[in-house]
Amino acid sequence: MGRFKLTLEYEGTRYSGWQIQKNARTVQGDLLAAMRDLFQTTEIELYGSGRTDAGVHALRQVAHLDVATMLAPEIIRKKINDELPADINIIEVEKAPKTFHARHDAVARSYLYQISRRRTALGKRFVWWIKDELDLRAMEDAAHLFAGIKDFRSFTADDPEEKSTKVQLEPIEMAESGDLILIRIVGSHFIWKMVRQIVGVLAEVGRGDLPRGAIERFLAADSDAPAKLTAPPSGLFLERVYYPGDARLDRLEPLINLNSERLRR
């Protein structure tokens, strides 16, 4: 068996998330089907750096693949892509040491969320359109409360009794780009729906319907309020998975230009 590191992108609109499921179409499921056709074997192991929810996109998801093959990495990339639907694309395949693990070796993950301040026809799969006026300064001020090691038990659909809900977040970055508000959240790891609930809470602060102090209460004790404010998956992208030595992104840029309705490449 050889081990390979895969870097891939996908539009999550048509998929029930990354992880393979019975009776549902998933990114991992389509990848495995393409790989079985190529390698003509079911002796394949594919592990992602983490799950993405139904409808969530990825710019640079990372996975590792174990398979017995003599094919070179670039040939593997091209041949698997030939079998994949257009909304999944493998960007790079590299040989990896047997000890490399896509999830366990990751030191941080970066998510990007796009909020649109206007209705968009061609970009609707990649943004959350909010009709109400948003106070970006208030959102930025509230975002500071999430930095550091915090207990996000009120910001997840996971059962706090079954797994740790303590996560370390770097300071949240926010920026405006035309009609878009961009939010970057970088953390050691993430729990189910955590990013979307953080964004939903920040949007409610921006609307003026939630005071900054409410976030402090959500972080101090259990609350079901963030769940009710969960942002839709359409605007969320897994932006990067970081491993030891990887350089961090230094610019916060939009993935769609609402003036031209063109996706940035």
The per-residue pLDDT for range 147-200, each reduced to its tens digit, is: 999 999 999 987 656 678 999 999 999 999 999 999 999 999 999 999 999 999
Is 53 noted as a catalytic residue in this protein?
A: yes
Given the residues 30, 37, 53, 82, the one annotated as active site = 53
Give DSSP secondary structure letters for 198-236.
Answer: HHHHHHHHHHTSS-HHHHHHHHHS--SHHHHTPPPGGGE
- Residues 212-247: tens digit of each pLDDT: 999 999 999 999 999 999 999 999 999 999 999 999
For the entire predicted model, the pTM comes to 0.93
Residues 6+ apart with CB under 8 A from 231: 113, 128, 196, 197, 199, 200, 203
Which residue, chain included where needed, has tokens 């790989």? 35
Domains delineated in the chain = 2-95 (3.30.70.580), 108-263 (3.30.70.660)
